Structures are given as structure tokens and as C-alpha cells.
Structure 1
Amino acid sequence: MTTDLGLLTSAAAKWEGMAGELKKVETRYGETVQKITLGDNWSGVSAGVARTKFTATRYEYSAAQNQAMAIASLLRGAHEQFSGLKAKLESARDDAIAAGMTVSEQGHVAFDYAKLTAAERSAYDHDPDGRSAIRTAVDMWQKHIDDRVKAVIEADVHVKDALEAAVVDSNRDALGKGADETLTGFNNYAEGDLAKAKKHEPADIKTHHDPVTVTGPDIGWSASGIKYGKEGSVKAYADLFHASGSGEVTFDGLKLSGVEEVYGGVRATGNLGATDKGVVAKGEMSAGLRFLQEARIEHGPQAAYGRLEAFAGGEVSGTGKLTQDEVTIGGKVFAGGKLTAAGGVESGGLGVGLTGEGWAGKGAEASFGWRRDEETGAWKVKGKGGLSPIFGGAVGLEITVDPGKIKKTAGEVAHEIGSWFD
């Protein structure tokens, strides 16, 4: 009741003045700094990068103006709303006093016995119905006052939520959708209409962690003969230990996932068969310690991954496959230690990945082929080669083509182009 609500309009005027000053800076920036990238005197990669960055900076100057004007509008809206609610509260207090009540500075309502004559006070004291009527009247006016106070509190919370939401970057022009190059910049789309403003809801963060599993020591073997339509296989293992874990976090359309695995032991497998799908011959044996750590980030059709691996021991393998979904040939032999780093990116169904390995030991490796993933329908073309008399290494390349994602991306692009023409 004692708050100077005029300070809200004074603050709004300051915010509007700030927007005007930002406009001057934006104009000056465009006519001086940004202008450098728009002429013919500068070209090449550096000019392209500068053009993007300078455009993004000017975007922030413009977004800052819109954010400042939105805050000014919210403050003026708050002044209008608070003034109206304050007037209603004052009217409710005056009506309660006119009805024979007192209202304290804290909003507590009581019956005003001071206005009664001695005879009227005595009559009320000795009349049960009269005392009941007073309690009912006091409760009614107390609720009336409380409801008006509650309305002010709710409006105050709404204004607070609206101001907090206005200063959070909506990122509607980020991630390739416009000139916005930062996820925590000014809010170009700040809502200045208090009636339309909504509470800012933080990004919905979901996490999932698979429990870490640890097995071993363990030893065993299995075998199955070649049957109609099925490959024959043999497997033997002596595991000292095997530990693995994985998890993922998703928020605001962004997904982060990771896998870790540690293994020590001896394993040997073999597959041989000729089915209606093709011919397969594969055998491998390894003994030693392995460590793997992989991280992946995805947002819509864009994705990137990184992987680190370490191996100490010996391994030998040979592969030959000729099926409807895969053609692969390769072999390797190695004894010593390896350190592998791999990474790749994917966009709109097309991906490329590179692998680099450092070897300390003797060995050689060569492989090439392509295969189709049965679950996703994506095709992968892979090649790898390496040699080490004592010290050496290997390099590899992987190309991914996902027809489903390409079709989806093409549809979205066609829709966007159609929207431009519309």
C-alpha cells in the first residue's frame, strides 16, 4: 500500500532510453566494422568467418534493443495492473470500514466496537445471535480483503516470471536457423505484452544411466554346426574381468551420450556359413587388456562423436563376407600396444569419420568393405590400413549414408523453400 508504483514507469523510460542508445551503437557498428566484410576488398575464408561473426554481433545489438523495449513494456504493464489492483484493495478496505469494521495496516479485519453506544455494546454481548452475526461479518470482510491481497501477490509473481523469461535467449535464430551465433545472448523475441507473457520454464533435462556391470573371472565355450540358412560358429573365452557403463542426457533437443568399457582376458571366435543371404567366413583371436571411451552429441539431423581406445596384448583376425547387406574383406595381426583416436560428424543423413592409431609393436592391418545396418537402413563404407615394423600406426575412413534421414532432410528443405515462395 505504501509502494511508489511511479518508479515502474520511471524504470520503463530508462529501458526505452537504453534501447535508443543501443540503436545508435548498432547503426555505427554496421556503418564501420561490419561494412568491412561487405565490400570486394576482402575475400577468402577469413572474410567469410568475419562476415558471419560481424553479422552475429549486429544481431545481438538488435536483439538487445528488442529485449530492452519488451522489459519497458512489461514494467508499464505492471504499473497499470498494480495500480488497478491497489485501487481495488483500497476500495475493499473502505467498504469494510463503512460496514462497521476496522482494518489494520497488516490487513487484519475486526469489528469496530468503538462505534457502538454502551447500550448497543451490552445488547451484542448478551445476544448469542448478535455475536454470531459479528463473527460471520468479520469473516466475510476478511476474505474479501484477503482475496484482493492474493490478487496482488499473483500479479507480482506473474510480473517476476515475465521479466525472467524476457531475458532468456529463445535461440529461435540459432543453430543454423538465422544469424544468432550464441545460445546465451539477448532475447530477440522477448514478450512485452504482460497478458501474453508466460513463466520461463528451464529446459527439461532428462538423464539415464545404465548400471555399471562388472563380470569375471569367467571361462567357457560354445559351438554350433552349419545348418540350413544359418552359419556355424565356435566361441571360447577366458575373461579376467569385464566392466562397462553407459548414460545419456537430453535437454532442449540436445542429446549427450557416452559409453565406457574395460576388458581383460582371452577370446576366440569363428563363423563360417553359406546361406540364402550370402557367404561368411570370419575368425579372430585376441589376448590382453582393452579400454574404450566414447562420447556422442546429437541435435536433430546433426551429430558428432569422439572415441578413445587403448589395447595392450596380441590379436589376429581374418574376415571375408559376401551377403546382400555386406561386402567386407580384411585381416590383421599385431602384438604390442595401441592407442586409437576416432571422431566423426553427421548431418542430414550423410556422415564421415576418421580414425588414427599409434602402434608400439609389430603388426599389419588392411580392410575394406560396406554394409547396411538392419535396424536403421543406413549404409557404411569403411576402409583401414596400418603397418608397424616396431613403431607405426594405422589410419581409417568411414562414410555413412542414411537414405531415411536424407529423405526427411530433403522434405524439410523443400518445405522451407516452399514457405519462402509463399
Structure 2
Amino acid sequence: MALNYHDVMTADLSTLSDVSEAWKKMGQRFGELKTDYEKHVQAALGNGNWQGLAYGAQQQSASATVAEYAAAKAEAVAIASLLTDGHAELTRLQKAVKDFVRDAEEKDYKVDSSGKATYVGYDNLSEQERYALHHDPDYPKLLSDARVKAQGWTDEIAKAVRAVDAADQSVKRALARATVDASGDGIGFGGFNAHAEGDLAKAGKPEPRSSAKKDGWVSEGKSEASGPDVDKSATGPDIGAGKLAEAEAHADLGRASAEGSLTNGPMKLSGGAEAYAGAKVSGAGTFTNEGIQGEGTGFLGGEASANGRADLGPVGVYGRAESMAGAEAGAHAGAGLEGLQLGAEAFAGAKAGGSLGADVGGIGAGATLEGWAGPGAEASLDCNKDANGTWHVGTKVGVSPALGGAVGFEFTVDPGKVADTVGDAADALGDAAGAVGDGITSIF
């Protein structure tokens, strides 16, 4: 949400400086912890008295811990630097807005709470002076000139406010990126960011929306990250809207996602990835003229997934990979014009799996295979239509006393693609028939 004039004028930016100092001290403390851990744990156990597989596993884990302490220091120091730069830049731009307002007021223009300037230089005139002014032949011209200048002040103030908002968004992007670990260092993805950028000018740049390359490829992509965050919400009942109740609560350690695509004529390559760590629970129930639906879910742990797809005209192939460690449970049921959904699951442990599939002309099929380490069970049957109008039919069954897994199958039908394929085929047949007819005519 963009900052407005009131936000800019009333913001207290001094806390950014205080928080920056706290992050700097945190970075120093992480450095001290790293040194203490290396000296009193890693080195103490590596004195040669302990050997074997268990020792090797412990040292590998200790090395990862040392790397995370170092990464935590780097991340904290980078955030401290970003907050310092952000404080300086936002303070400078906020002062520019206030300077505009002060200059306008010195020239008898009043600026209201929304940043609009109005000329008030005539307000303090005596009755005789006001009478004389109203009968001055140039009075209409004076009023028009005052309105034009007032609009000029309003525009300048609004431009200065937009500059503050742009800087604020830059600081937000930089801080979000600093907390995302995209390397395999330490414990791997999802740890502290050892490569966090502390230069606001570099880290706060907007994501490129799209670019066209010389070979004809066009790329598009976006990414986002958030956390830590704790929140909850509850709504309902709303009988008019068909909502019985809806509630959600989460405590996120971190969340990140990215997606992108490359397109060149009929060929398109696309993919995405996302990761989450934390806890969340939700429940909802609705009934409308399109059907009824109810669901409840709970999750604690971490999960990550990646997907990719390649399309060439009407033919496409896709793949997905997913992993999870933690505990989850849920159930859902619904029926209506948009499809049917039934399912329930409960699991604690770790799981990983993938899916492969293909579609031709808008009709596709795929299979899913998962391996589970931990007790759990799952069963689902879904038939629904997504926001793009594509119908998905899938089933999945899994069980694991301690070690086990799940298998699933899915089918998709995209009516729009099917219609396009049929239309293209009809056009091709028409062209072929026309060519044959022309050939026969030429013979005779």
C-alpha cells in the first residue's frame, strides 16, 4: 500500500536508527557465538579421541552450525546497513516534503491533511480591502493565478511524497531479500543468508518485469519473500454471502516464492519454486447456489516445491517435485457446479516425491509418486475447475506405518485448448481439401 501525504508528514523515522544499531550488535554477538562454538564444541570434539561414523556425522553437523553462525552474522550486519541507509534516505526525502510545505506556507498557501495547497493570502484583509479587491478589474485574473500556483504546489508536494514511497518500497524489497537463503551453504536452503547485500542501492532495485532478447525469447518473472510473521483472522457467519465461518492463524518463520517463463513463438518454458517454514491452521465453510464446501487444515514444519513445464504449440510436458518435514493434518469436502472434492490426510515425519505428465491439445494425464518416512495416511478424490476454466480430475492414496508412500493419478481437460485444437485441425483439413480440389481441377 502506497504511502500518502499524512503518512509521510507524521512518520517517526528515528526508530530505524535505533533498530539498525540493535541489528549491528546482534551481528557482533553471532560472530562471538561462532567463535565460542568452534573453540568449545567443534574443536573440543575434534581432538582425536573420538573416531568413527558418529564422529563424522557430528563434525558435519558442527560445520553446518558454524556456517550458519557466520551466515547469521552476515545477514544481521547487512540488515543493519540497509536500515542505516534507509533511515538516511527516507529522512532526506521526508525533509524535502516538509520543506515544500514550509515554503508554500511562507507564500500564503495553506496545505491540508491530504497535501492539497490553497491560497489564503486574502483571508486577513479588512472589509474595506476585500471590497476594493472584489471591484478590482484584475480580480478574476488574480484568483486564476492563485489557483494555478496552488496546483503547482500541490503537484510538487505529491511528487515529493511519491519519492518517499518509492524509497520505502526499495527498503522493503532490500530487507525481504536479505533474509532469503538461496544457497546450499550451512544447513542448505532456508537458513541464514550468508550472501545478504547490505547496499540499499543494489539490494532495493525492482525486479525486472520482462525483457526481449535478440534471438526472440521473451522472459517474464517475479519473486517475493516474507517473514517472520504472526497473524490470525476470523470472519462469519455471513448468510447473505453463503459463508458459515472462516478462520486462519499462522506463525511464519519464512516464506519465499519465485516464478518465471521464457517464450519464443509457439514454444514456452515456465517454472516456479516456493518454500515455507512455520505453523498454520485454517478452517472454512461455505454454501452458495454453486455448491457447498468445507475444509480444515493444520501444518507444523517446513515444505518446499518446484515445478517446470514446456509447451510447443498444443503439446506440453510438466514435472513437479515436493518435499516436507514436520506434521500435517487436514480434511476437505465440497460439491457444486465447479466440481467435487473429498479428502483427508494425517502425517508426521518427512516425505518427498514428484509428478510427471503431458497433455496434447488440451487433454492431459500424469502420475505422482511419493516416499514417506513416518506414520501417516492419505486419501483424496478431486474433480474441479480452476480459475482458467481447466478441469482437473485426480486421486491419491498413501499409507505408512513407519516407511511407506503414496501414489496418485491426475487428468486435465482444458475446453479452450480443445476447441482451439479442433479449430486448427478443421482449418488444416479445409486447406488440404481445397488443395486436392485445385489439383483435380487443374488435371481436367
TM-score (norm 1): 0.51
Pairwise CA distance, 1:257? 1.2
Pairwise CA distance, 1:295? 0.9
Change (3 A) 1:214 1:369: closer
Establish whether residue 317 from structure 1 lines up as the match of residue 330 from structure 2.
yes
Tell me, yes or no, if the aligned pair for 1:217 and 1:241 is still in contact at 8 Å. yes
The amino acid of 1:286's aligned partner reads F
- Quote the residue 1:340 is aligned against: 353
Pairwise CA distance, 1:229? 2.4
What CA distance in whole angstroms lies between the structure 2 residues aligned with 1:412 and 1:404? 12
Identity of aligned residues (%): 37
- Quote the residue 2:307 is aligned against: 294
The amino acid of 1:207's aligned partner reads S
1:72-87 pair list within 5 angstroms: none
- Quote the residue 1:203 is aligned against: 215
Establish whether residue 372 from structure 1 lines up as the match of residue 385 from structure 2.
yes
- Quote the residue 2:261 is aligned against: 248
What CA distance in whole angstroms lies between the structure 2 residues aligned with 1:336 and 1:275? 38
What CA distance in whole angstroms lies between the structure 2 residues aligned with 1:302 and 1:316? 36
Q: Name the SS for the 1:292 alignment partner.
A: strand
List per-residue Cα deviations over 1:295-340 (Å, max 9, x = no partner).
1111222211111111000000011101211211110000000001
- Quote the residue 1:213 is aligned against: 224
The amino acid of 2:378's aligned partner reads E
Pairwise CA distance, 1:404? 1.7
Q: Name the SS for the 2:237 alignment partner.
A: coil
- Quote the residue 1:326 is aligned against: 339
The amino acid of 1:296's aligned partner reads R
Q: Which runs of 4+ in 1 moved over 4 A?
A: none
- Quote the residue 1:43 is aligned against: none
Q: Name the SS for the 1:421 alignment partner.
A: helix
What CA distance in whole angstroms lies between the structure 1 residues aligned with 2:345 and 2:324? 14
- Quote the residue 1:387 is aligned against: 399
List per-residue Cα deviations over 1:85-142 (Å, max 9, x = no partner).
xxxxxxxxxxxxxxxxxxxxxxxxxxxxxxxxxxxxxxxxxxxxxxxxxxxxxxxxxx
What CA distance in whole angstroms lies between the structure 1 residues aligned with 2:412 and 2:221? 28
What CA distance in whole angstroms lies between the structure 1 residues aligned with 2:224 and 2:426? 46
Tell me, yes or no, if the aligned pair for 1:293 and 1:308 is still in contact at 8 Å. yes
Establish whether residue 258 from structure 1 lines up as the match of residue 271 from structure 2.
yes
RMSD: 1.5
What CA distance in whole angstroms lies between the structure 2 residues aligned with 1:410 and 1:252? 20
1:17-416 pair list within 5 angstroms: 203-210=215-222, 212-227=223-238, 228-231=240-243, 232-373=245-386, 375-416=387-428
Change (3 A) 1:349 1:403: same
Pairwise CA distance, 1:202? 6.1
- Quote the residue 2:121 is aligned against: none
Pairwise CA distance, 1:274? 1.9
Q: Name the SS for the 1:406 alignment partner.
A: helix
- Larger mean CA deviation between 357-366 and 317-326 belongs to 317-326
Tell me, yes or no, if the aligned pair for 1:203 and 1:252 is still in contact at 8 Å. no
Tell me, yes or no, if the aligned pair for 1:226 and 1:273 is still in contact at 8 Å. no
- Tell which structure's C-alpha radius of gyration is larger: 1
Pairwise CA distance, 1:207? 1.4
TM-score (norm 2): 0.48
- Larger mean CA deviation between 314-323 and 274-283 belongs to 274-283
